[in-house]
Structures are given as structure tokens and as C-alpha cells.
Amino acid sequence: MMTELPHARDELPRTRGPQPHTRDALLPPTPSQTVGPFYGYALPFPGGGDLAPAGAPATLTVHGQVYDGAGVPVPDALIEIWQTDPAGSTAGAPGSLRHDPVTGNVVGRDGVRFTGFGRVPTDADGHWTVRTLAPGAPRPGAVPYLSVLVFARGLLHHLHTRIHLPEHAEALAADPVLGALPPERLGTLLATRERERLYRFDIRLQGEKETVFLDFPVG
């Protein structure tokens, strides 16, 4: 029987049929806890910020600092990136944490496949950098972006935000939800172009220019 199956990834938000229909029937989720200060020997991995295949001519560098509510750089935050490939696909690929089978050490990506996933810790000055390819629009006409997760000691639950490139500022302002934000708030979701292929995106956890963080109704 050749029923056409939806792509596995599309199943998640679109499941219908004989499922529990109320929140009460859903299993309660495991609560979040802070990543703490000592993840550094476990979660970061070699090449974690190098999403772009080595030598890819269209590589973009995106970097920035994470600041706390006093404007002090956060030296122990962890940034994760998930994004579409330049064609707009969210399929991703394995291999972000490719291991050397002899030593068992992570040796970095294979230099060919684009996994769409990156992870970098901030340095002593709260600074992080990723090298990646421009994200493609996830559907025709949509605004492309890099999805960002922020983890840190002191953050009991991680934070979602998005990096948009400045060339998409107008399209972002037309977004029915995000476009309704006051311009100075919306601006926190835009990277600034420092020079050709170099973009800056600072993250302010709290305070006057606090970054816009996002929430997804996932349960």
C-alpha cells in the first residue's frame, strides 16, 4: 500500500487523528535547569562554530557579545545555532560532532556537508563567533534567519532568539508578529553589517536594549 507519508519532520506540528486532545492528557515535561558554569569540557566541540564547509567562498562570519543586565560581558554563556541551508532546506545533516574512530576525539566536520547546527561558548570577554552560509528562505518569500539558543549560568531556562541579516530588515518589519514590535525592539533581532560578509549580533539578556526573546507553543 503506497500511502504517501509526510516527511518525518513535518509530522511533529501537524499530527492529527487518534491523539490525546487536551493538555491534561499530555505527559508533563521534564523541567529545565541551568547549564551551570562547568559545561565547558563537555558541550563545546572542535569546529563547533564552523558551520560553513572549509573554504566555501560564500562564508559569512557572524559574531557578537553577550551582556548581562549591568552591561557586563557574560563569559560563560553557550550559543547554539540552527538554520536552513542556502537553499532554504531544514533537513540538516549529521556530522557536526564527527569522531576520529581511533582516538574517539571529535575532529570536526567533514568539510563538505552543511549540518546547519553550530555551538560556541563565549570567551572571557563574552564574545562568540560562527562562520556559516547565508540561510535560505524556509519557504518562498519568507524571511531567512539563524535560530539562536542562549544558555548560561544564572539562566534557569534557555532563551530563543533569531539573527536576521540587515538586507532583510524591510521584510522583517512586514512580519505580522515581529513587525508589530516597536522599532527599537525589532532592531535587536537584526545583525549589523561591519564589512563585506562580516556581521555583528550582540545579545543583551536584560536591561534597556534587551534582546527580543521568543517562545514557541510546543506543549
Partner 1 sequence: MSTPPTQTDIDAEIATAHARAQEGTRPQGRTRAQTPAQSPIRTRVAGPEARHHPPRDFPPYRSSALRFPRQRPVPLSDPEAVELTGPVFGVTDVTALDSDLTRHHQGAPLGERITVSGRVLDRLGRPVRGQLVEVWQANASGRYAHQLDQHPAPLDPNFTGFGRCLTDDEGRYAFTTVKPGAYPWRNHTNAWRPAHIHFSVFGEAFAQRLVTQMYFPGDPLFPYDPILQSVTDQAARDRLVAAWDHTLTVPEWSLGYRWDIVLDGPAATWFEEGRE
Give whichever of 157 and 195 is closer to partner 1, judged by the CB atom: 157
**Which residues on neighbouring strands pair with residue 149, listed in sequence order?**
80, 160
Does residue 177 interact with partner 1 by CB under 8 A? Answer: yes
> In this chain, which of 65, 96, 122, 132 binds partner 1, going by CB under 8 A?
96
Does residue 120 interact with partner 1 by CB under 8 A? Answer: no
With beta carbons less than 8 A apart as the criterion, state whether 62 and 146 touch.
Answer: yes
Burial of 62 (0-12, 13-18, 19+ CB in 10 A): buried
> For cell 503506497, what's the residue?
2
Does residue 202 interact with partner 1 by CB under 8 A? Answer: no
Find the shortest distance in angstroms from Cβ 210 to partner 1.
Answer: 6
Does residue 5 interact with partner 1 by CB under 8 A? Answer: no
With beta carbons less than 8 A apart as the criterion, state whether 119 and 80 touch.
Answer: yes
Identify which of 98, 75, 82, 83 has the alpha carbon closest to the alpha carbon of residue 205.
75
Interface stretch with partner 1, choices 20-28, 55-63, 126-134, 193-201 (CB under 8 A):
20-28
Does residue 115 interact with partner 1 by CB under 8 A? Answer: yes
Does residue 173 interact with partner 1 by CB under 8 A? Answer: no
Does residue 124 interact with partner 1 by CB under 8 A? Answer: no
DSSP state of 162: E
> In this chain, which of 2, 157, 183, 184 binds partner 1, going by CB under 8 A?
157
Residues 63-82 that bind partner 1 (CB under 8 A): 68-70, 72, 74, 80, 82
d(CA 69, CA 209): 9
